[in-house]
A = this chain, B = another copy of it.
Amino acid sequence: MQIVIIGTGNVASVLGRKFVAAGHTIVQVVGRNSTAASALAYEWNTVSTDYLSIINQQADVYLLAVSDMALPAVAGELKLPGKVVAHTAASVPADVLKTVTDHYGVFYPLQSIRKEMTALPEIPVFVDGHDEKALTTLQQLAHSIWPGKVVQATDDDRLKLHVAAVFVSNFTNHLYALAEDYCRQEGIDFTQLLPLIQETANRITTISPAQAQTGPALRHDSETIQKHLAVLQAYPHLQALYKTLTSSIQQFK
């Protein structure tokens, strides 16, 4: 397919590279950051512009990989009747694009993709289309580059999936970061915990996380909990989080 990519960030960079590798043609890169846009255009052997007004009108698919906040303004400047236009945002309804074309949709990878990724992770990509043409085209495009599942999901599902993803990815990663920081301050080697982190993530592929729960909170082992809170005396923020999450585990049923 002939594709125009709008945006020069992580998602634009990684998807563009995969489109090229799969034999699609990127006919133009559009980005406010003209340095970034021309770098991507060079990589993909195409042209770039920083003006939405001179967007190439001849492509099959237009991918708006810009920030959630920028989407309404970018959509407001575009008229692409007859074309398939999709955005890549979790929490923005597809119909932010309804004035651009009738064939609008969404192409949302369940993951913050980073430029440095050479391989796409095998996470699902969630696609949706306002009409059959948009849906079919975006599904085809997804299947041509995506190593994981291609799943149709509504605006509502996508928002809920994003909320769940924040819990299992952003928040868990933050717990890793807090533990790493604590280990560093206490002179403990954080990398000793990596196999446990892997094991915790792997375990729930065979049993549900509710069944997999262990630890002093679940056992109501108040002696150990008190020792842990004492050890965290110098870290009031960790102490507060420890209490909050311990009580959350104990209330969970």
A202 and B210 contacting across the interface, CB-CB below 8 Å: no
Determine the main DSSP class of A at the interface with B: helix
A161 at the interface (CB under 8 A from B): yes
Q: Are B205 and A123 in contact (CB under 8 A)?
A: no
A197 and B169 within 8 A (CB): yes
Contact A193 B164 (CB under 8 A): yes
Given contacts A162-B228, A194-B204, A241-B244, contact A214 B112 (CB under 8 A): yes
Alpha-carbon distance between A154 and B238 when the two chains are bound, in angstroms: 22
B221 A68 Cβ-Cβ under 8 A: yes
Partner of A110, one of B124, B174, B192: B192
Q: Is A78 an interface residue (CB 8 A)?
A: no
Q: In the complex, which residues 186-201 of chain A have their Cβ closer than 8 Å to any Cβ of chain B?
A: 186, 188, 190, 192-201
**A95-125 near B? 1/0 per residue, CB < 8 Å:** 0000000000000001110100000011110
Most buried by B among A160, A173, A193: A173
Q: Do the beta carbons of A183 and B164 come within 8 Å of each other?
A: yes
When A173-B212, A174-B248, A204-B176 are in contact, do A168 and B197 touch as well, CB less than 8 Å?
yes
Q: Determine whether the beta carbon of B168 is less than 8 Å from that of A209.
A: no
Q: Mark A166-188, 1 if CB is under 8 A from B, else 0.
A: 11111111111111111100101
Chain A 222-253, CB-CB to B under 8 Å as 1, else 0, gives 01100110011000011001101100110110
- A residues with a Cβ closer than 8 A to B are 67-69, 90-91, 110-112, 114, 121-124, 148-149, 151, 157, 159-183, 186, 188, 190, 192-205, 208-210, 212-218, 221, 223-224, 227-228, 231-232, 237-238, 241-242, 244-245, 248-249, 251-252
